């Protein structure tokens, strides 16, 4: 039996995108359930998906992904976004690598980021729940997916680098989950992208501070 996948999609201010991304995720991904992480004042039902929210809000991307992890049961989780294009076969390619006993995190190919293309990073990934339960996606914090220390960016950098240092990361460049982002002229700028860019410098500085300690502990 194929392990079920929980596709987690935090979303804010992009209601117009959701029907398409949900349909695309389900059509391209066998044995998947899609969970939309929404703020209470924006929450609504999208065909084929389950909406998750909290009365006091979900906060940023990492907080939403962590809430999605804690609110679901599937043995595999995918940290997604509302600006992705899932290509057919991506999950099958990832599952092949997850059959290896030492692999817990498989990075997909976003068809944009140069570090991703070199197999040195991933912006989106398929992950074993057991890895998040223990030791946890954040170093020293069992039952975590992403660090909530950042305003927006570099959660993927910390998560991926930590998995690399632990020896449990594998890139899968044949698993295409395309990031339809303005950085690669695949989407127009909007308020959500703008917020991310504004916090980029502070998040980068914090990443280097946090990872210095993780590198020392795991090297």
Say how many domains are in the chain.
1
Residue 184: which domain range?
5-218
Helix H or strand E segment including 158: helix 155-166
Structure token pair of residue 105: 């995190």
Distance CA 49, CA 9 (A): 10
Report in angstroms the alpha-carbon separations of 201 from 48, 125, 150, 173: 37, 24, 11, 28
The structure tokens 């509302």 sit at 82
Give the tens place of pLDDT for each residue, 166-207: 999 999 999 999 999 888 888 888 777 777 778 899 999 999
pLDDT score of 195? 73
- CATH number where 143 lies: 3.90.550.10
Instruction: Find the Cα–Cα–Cα–Cα dihedral 140, 155, 8, 168, rounded to 10°.
Output: -50
Helix H or strand E segment including 77: strand 76-79
Give the tens place of pLDDT for each residue, 33-46: 999 999 999 999 99
CA proximity to 126, closest of 169, 165, 164: 169
153 contact partners, CB below 8 Å, separation of at least 6: 196, 199, 200, 203, 204
Structure token pair of residue 171: 């890139």
pLDDT averaged over 10-residue windows placed end to end, the chain, 219 residues: 91 93 97 97 96 91 97 98 97 97 98 97 98 98 97 95 98 97 83 78 96 95
pLDDT score of 1? 61
pLDDT score of 184? 82
156 contact partners, CB below 8 Å, separation of at least 6: 79, 121, 122, 123, 124, 125, 146
Distance CA 177, CA 78 (A): 11
pLDDT score of 192? 79
């Amino acid at each position: 039996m194929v392990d079920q996948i929980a596709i987690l999609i935090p979303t804010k201010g992009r209601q117009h995108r959701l029907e398409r991304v949900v349909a695309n995720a389900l059509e391209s991904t066998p044995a998947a359930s899609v969970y939309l992480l929404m703020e209470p004042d924006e929450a609504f039902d999208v065909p084929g998906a389950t909406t998750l929210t909290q009365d006091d809000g979900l906060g940023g991307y990492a907080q939403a992904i962590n809430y999605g992890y804690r609110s679901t049961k599937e043995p595999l989780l995918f940290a997604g976004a509302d600006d992705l294009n899932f290509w057919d076969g991506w999950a099958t390619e990832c599952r092949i690598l997850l059959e290896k006993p030492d692999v817990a995190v498989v990075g997909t190919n976003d068809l944009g980021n140069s570090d991703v293309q070199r197999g040195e990073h991933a912006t989106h990934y398929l992950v074993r729940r057991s890895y998040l339960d223990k030791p946890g996606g954040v170093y020293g914090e069992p039952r975590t997916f992403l660090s909530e220390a950042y305003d927006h960016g570099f959660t993927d950098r910390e998560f991926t680098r930590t998995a690399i240092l632990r020896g449990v990361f594998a890139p899968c460049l044949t698993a295409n989950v395309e990031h339809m982002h303005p950085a690669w002229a695949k989407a127009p700028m909007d308020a959500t992208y703008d917020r991310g860019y504004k916090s980029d410098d502070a998040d980068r500085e914090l990443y280097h501070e946090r990872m210095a300690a993780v590198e020392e502990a795991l090297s």
